[in-house]
């Protein structure tokens, strides 16, 4: 009797272990749908915010490249932006205070006594105000990402963040940088809080024609307090 009971326990335990350690049979499409729901909520939080604080930058650009090195500042959905922008042009790094409202962009480089109207496209840089457009700005990247997969958890201070990876079509990445290759797919990694707030993202790919891939890192915080941004007089 004792022997039979022992055999039964072994079978039950073994079956339990096999079940616990067996393959994940959950539906991959259901997983992708859940991840898309989280990214959609993260986008909504950005689009509903009164103020978005953003940092977008690359650690470096390949030698001989002219383009955006970094942009740090605050914006709203007017759209408008106020902050500091660094671009590389002609082999030199130029830092400028920038204010952009709609399609108008004004900059005050460190060597200039006043704000000047500029065309960001001539520097292979985006109009920073356009990043905050609800329909066509950077927030659309979240819901246009393909092949979603959940990665490992990571920690940022007290917060445990969920990593979500995928790829973004180049035609959408142009919302970040207008020189991005529209025929390419750009790998992206997002990190979201448990409340589905976007903490940061990293996007890699051919942002500039004819050179090696560049990685841009983006970090975001939002506020319910409005910010007023007007062009310098």
Element (H, E) at 220: strand 214-223
Look at residue 23 in the predicted model and tell me its pLDDT: 47
Residue 23 lies in a domain: no
Residue 69 is assigned to a structural domain of this protein: yes
- Decide if 79 is inside a domain: yes
What pLDDT does 3 receive?
Answer: 52
pTM given for the model = 0.86
Walk along the chain (233 residues) and give the pLDDT tens digit of each residue. 445 544 444 444 444 443 444 445 457 899 999 999 999 999 999 999 999 999 999 999 999 899 999 999 999 999 999 999 999 998 899 999 999 999 999 999 988 899 999 999 888 889 999 999 989 999 999 999 999 999 999 988 899 999 999 999 999 999 899 999 999 999 999 999 999 999 999 999 999 999 999 999 999 999 999 999 999 98
Residue 123 CA: distances (Å) to CA of 15, 20, 131: 64, 56, 16
**Residue 4 has what pLDDT?**
52
- Whether 17 is covered by a domain: the verdict is no
Q: Residue 166 has what pLDDT?
A: 98
Q: What is the DSSP string of 93-141?
A: EEEEEEEEETTEEEEEETT-SS-EE--GGGGT---GGGGG-TTTSGGGG
Q: Tell me, yes or no, whether 156 lies in a domain.
A: yes
CATH number of the domain bearing residue 185: 2.50.20.20
Number of domains in the chain: 1
Residue 152 lies in a domain: yes
In a domain, 167, yes or no: yes
| pLDDT of the residue at 34 | 97
Specify if 140 maps to a domain.
yes
Phi and psi dihedrals of 143, rounded to 5?
A: -95, -5
Q: What is the pLDDT of residue 19?
A: 43
Q: Which domain holds residue 148?
A: 36-223
């Amino acid at each position: 009797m004792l022997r039979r009971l022992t055999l039964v326990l072994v079978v039950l335990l073994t079956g339990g272990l096999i079940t616990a350690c067996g393959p994940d049979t959950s539906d991959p499409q259901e997983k992708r749908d859940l991840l898309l729901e989280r990214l959609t909520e993260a986008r909504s939080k950005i689009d509903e915010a009164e103020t978005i604080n953003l940092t977008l930058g690359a650690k470096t650009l390949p030698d001989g490249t002219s383009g955006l090195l970094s942009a740090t500042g605050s914006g709203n959905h007017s759209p408008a932006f106020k902050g500091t922008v660094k671009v590389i042009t002609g082999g030199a790094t130029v830092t400028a205070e920038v204010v952009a409202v709609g399609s108008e962009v004004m900059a005050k480089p460190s060597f200039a006594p006043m704000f000047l109207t500029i065309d960001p496209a001539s520097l292979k840089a985006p109009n920073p105000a356009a990043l905050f457009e609800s329909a066509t700005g950077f927030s659309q990247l979240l819901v246009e990402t393909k092949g979603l997969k959940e990665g490992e958890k990571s920690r940022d201070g007290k917060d445990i963040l969920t990593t979500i990876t995928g790829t973004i079509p180049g035609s959408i990445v142009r919302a970040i940088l207008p020189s991005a290759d529209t025929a390419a797919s750009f790998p992206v990694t997002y990190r979201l809080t448990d409340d589905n707030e976007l903490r940061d993202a990293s996007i890699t790919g051919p942002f500039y024609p004819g050179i090696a891939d560049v990685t841009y890192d983006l970090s975001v915080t939002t506020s319910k307090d409005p910010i007023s941004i007007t062009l310098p007089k």
